[in-house]
Amino acid sequence: MAKSKSIRMKDIADRLGVSVSTVSKAIKGSYDVSAKTREKVMKLVEELDFEPNKQAQSLLQNKSYTLGVVVPDLDNSFFGSIIRGIENIAYQNGYNLIICQSHEDSVRELSDLKSLINHQVDGLILALASSTKDLKYLESLKARNFPYVLIDRGNDDLGVSQVLVDDFTGGMNASKLLFETGCLNVAHLAGPEKLINATEREEGYKQVCEDFGFDPLVVHCEFNEEKSFEKTLQLLQKHPEVDGIFAASDRIAVGAMQAVKSLGKSIPEDVSVIGFSDLAYSKYLEPALTTISQPAGDMGEKAMKVLLETMKQSEDENVNLAEKFVYQTKLIIRNSTKEIIQ
């Protein structure tokens, strides 16, 4: 037996001795169909568990009720939470999500994007890969008035709506806390130089250094524990006076904590550490990690709402409204930093 094709409207129509269009009308509820006919149809629909073929509908309506989401990674609870937020709203509005991971690779990202468009998604939510330089394709999407919104990884040149985090202020708050808790030599384990968010956090740090009259000490590092471990070791060897570390991400903070401990120094007494993102497990580290939390779920929901809005607009006229929503971070004080000095 080959794969059984699913039931079509024609099957129902034949069984009932009516036409396909009558069945279609009955199911839609619109148009005039006699109550009797509708009842008969609906009964059979229930019985056979019939659902109209979305592909055929899409072809006709030029809508697929499917949305694309491209994020750098999924094994990070940050984007996981963002997707959960997106999903909440998408689900309520009858949309399905095709989720792709770019793995921070712009080649993969481009291919994902094309494949998604190719699958006739009605819209996109995208967190740019950190390596993405070439925006030609995204520009062409914009030019074609294809609805998409950027999340977390922003870009002002594209002229599309964005849902972002105020990384600069977050970076400032993190750095400030370190100084306010008595640290005198605060270093920054910054993220990749090409990543806008990382750069913003770094700028926040530098601003605070200036305010406190401290000469910035920045080391760049990838977003993983191993690299961070190495870099921190080097940093502390070269600068044993460092007594506070602002890590650009919780994963970097974890590596830093490991390194600090391996040197026999204690946290936060000898070296205070603060992270960024508040990953799910950060509160279970020892000491529990002080960090900056981002409202990932809210951001996902917002992005999805904005996308819905954008899709509505692009159906009508070219309103071309590119809004920018910037979420504030929250300082989560735990035990990897000292008490604030009054």
Burial 122-151 (b: 16+ CB within 10 A, else e): bbbbbbbbbbbeeeeebeebbeeebbbbbb
Q: Which does 254 bind (CB under 5 to 8 A by kind): DNA, its own copies, none?
A: its own copies
CA distance linking residue 325 with residue 176, whole number of Å: 24
Residues at the contact surface with its own copies, assessed by CB under 8 A: 1-6, 49, 51, 53-56, 58-59, 62, 64-66, 74-75, 77, 80-81, 83-84, 87, 96-101, 114-120, 140, 144-147, 225, 254, 257-258, 279-281, 284-286, 314-318
**Selection from 55, 81, 53, 59 nearest residue 69 by Cα:** 81
Q: Which does 140 bind (CB under 5 to 8 A by kind): its own copies, DNA, none?
A: its own copies
Measured from the CB atom, is 53 or 106 closer to DNA? 53
Measured from the CB atom, is 24 or 93 closer to DNA? 24
| C-alpha torsion 330→332→336→339, nearest 10 | 100
CB of 145 to DNA, least distance (A): 16
Residues at the contact surface with DNA, assessed by CB under 7 A: 5, 8-10, 17-22, 24-25, 27-28, 30-37, 52-53, 56-57, 59-62
Measured from the CB atom, is 57 or 328 closer to its own copies? 57
CA atoms within 13 A on the CB side of 333: 11
**Selection from 279, 277, 274 nearest residue 289 by Cα:** 274
CA distance linking residue 197 with residue 170, whole number of Å: 10
Q: Which does 49 bind (CB under 5 to 8 A by kind): DNA, its own copies, none?
A: its own copies
CB of 1 to its own copies, least distance (A): 4
Measured from the CB atom, is 86 or 164 closer to its own copies? 86
Measured from the CB atom, is 1 or 341 closer to DNA? 1
At 12 the three-state DSSP class reads helix
- Cα of 56 vs its chain's centroid, Å: 31
At 220 the three-state DSSP class reads strand
CB of 138 to its own copies, least distance (A): 13
